[in-house]
Amino acid sequence: MRIGGFVKSSLIDYPGKVAAVVFTQGCNFRCPYCHNPDLVYPERFGELLDIEQIFDFLQRRRGLLDGVVFCGGEPTIQEDLPEAILRVRALGYAVKVDTNGSNPEMLAEVLPYVDYVAMDIKAPFGPDYSRACGVEVDDYEIRRSMLLIRASGVDYEFRTTCHPLYMPAEKVPEIRRILGHAEKYSAREAK
Ligand code: SF4
């Protein structure tokens, strides 16, 4: 697994839990407002962290931390994500995955071992979607991920980052219509 960053303890990345955060390196999207460009653009990549050192840390913090968050970048493009999640679970931690929803196959593989998923809905479906992602996106894959998450029984949230040019806040009601009002959904302005 390519790990570009690690936060030992966070109170804001996993609702209701004190969690360590693993930032995977690499993303298949190029959202123009990306908050983590150092994990997206290869020319900005920093040194990789050693996953074994992270597992050593997690081993030592058992009982002090509640969970581990895999975010990025985009964690579902990491081929060994399932293995890493299983190792984290074996240490007794709850697992949260943050995803852009582009990889339903990987999502299906890991959902049985995940306790919480936060998935981005970048824009209303159609041409707006690719514009917000900075690459051509087949929103059928995004819908598949949504359905998988809903059907999984795993705790989840959908979320949107608003940006005046790429995802104006006025379009949030369109996304809410797609999701239905019962969904756990939040929209926030890009930083
Ligand atoms: S999906 Fe997330 S990490 Fe990837 S480019 Fe978009 S905002 Fe950045």
57-108 pLDDT, tens digit each: 999 999 999 999 999 999 999 999 999 999 999 999 999 999 999 999 999 9
pTM, whole model, 2 decimals? Answer: 0.96
Q: Identify whether the C-beta of residue 4 lies closer than 8 Å to the C-beta of residue 23.
A: yes
pLDDT of amino acid 180: 83
According to DSSP, the β-strands at 116-120 and 155-162 are parallel
Among candidates 146, 107, 108, which has minimal Cα distance to 125? 146
pLDDT of amino acid 191: 73
pLDDT of amino acid 183: 77
Q: Name the residue of 13, 35, 39, 74 whose CB sits within 8 Å of the most ligand 1 atoms, as the mutation to test its pocket.
A: 74
Distance between Cα 36 and ligand 1 center (Å)? 7
Residue 28 scores a pLDDT above 90: yes
pLDDT of amino acid 2: 98
Instruction: State how far the alpha carbon of 109 is from the alpha carbons of 27, 69, 82, 147, 165, in Å.
Output: 19, 17, 7, 14, 35
Distance between Cα 72 and ligand 1 center (Å)? 7
Q: Identify whether the C-beta of residue 134 lies closer than 8 Å to the C-beta of residue 116.
A: no
Q: Identify whether the C-beta of residue 106 lies closer than 8 Å to the C-beta of residue 148.
A: no
Domain count, the chain: 1
The domain in which residue 176 lies consists of 3-189
Among candidates 67, 81, 57, 72, which has minimal Cα distance to 12? 67
Alpha helices in 40-160 (DSSP H): 51-60, 81-90, 104-110, 127-133, 139-152
Give residue 182's pLDDT band: very low, low, confident or very high (50, 70, 90). Answer: low
Q: Identify whether the C-beta of residue 175 lies closer than 8 Å to the C-beta of residue 124.
A: yes
Taking the C-alpha atoms of residue 7 and residue 23, their distance in angstroms, rounded to an integer, is 8
Residue 60 has which token pair?
A: 């030592």
Q: Identify whether the C-beta of residue 26 lies closer than 8 Å to the C-beta of residue 72.
A: yes
Place of tokens 């509640």: 66
Q: What is the CATH number of the domain that holds 156?
A: 3.20.20.70
Give the chain's mean pLDDT.
96
Residues of the chain with pLDDT > 90: what percent?
94
Residue nearest to ligand 1 atom 7, measured at CA: 34
What residues line ligand 1, using a CB cutoff of 6 Å? 27, 29-31, 34, 36, 40, 72-74, 100
pLDDT of amino acid 72: 92
Taking the C-alpha atoms of residue 83 and residue 134, their distance in angstroms, rounded to an integer, is 30
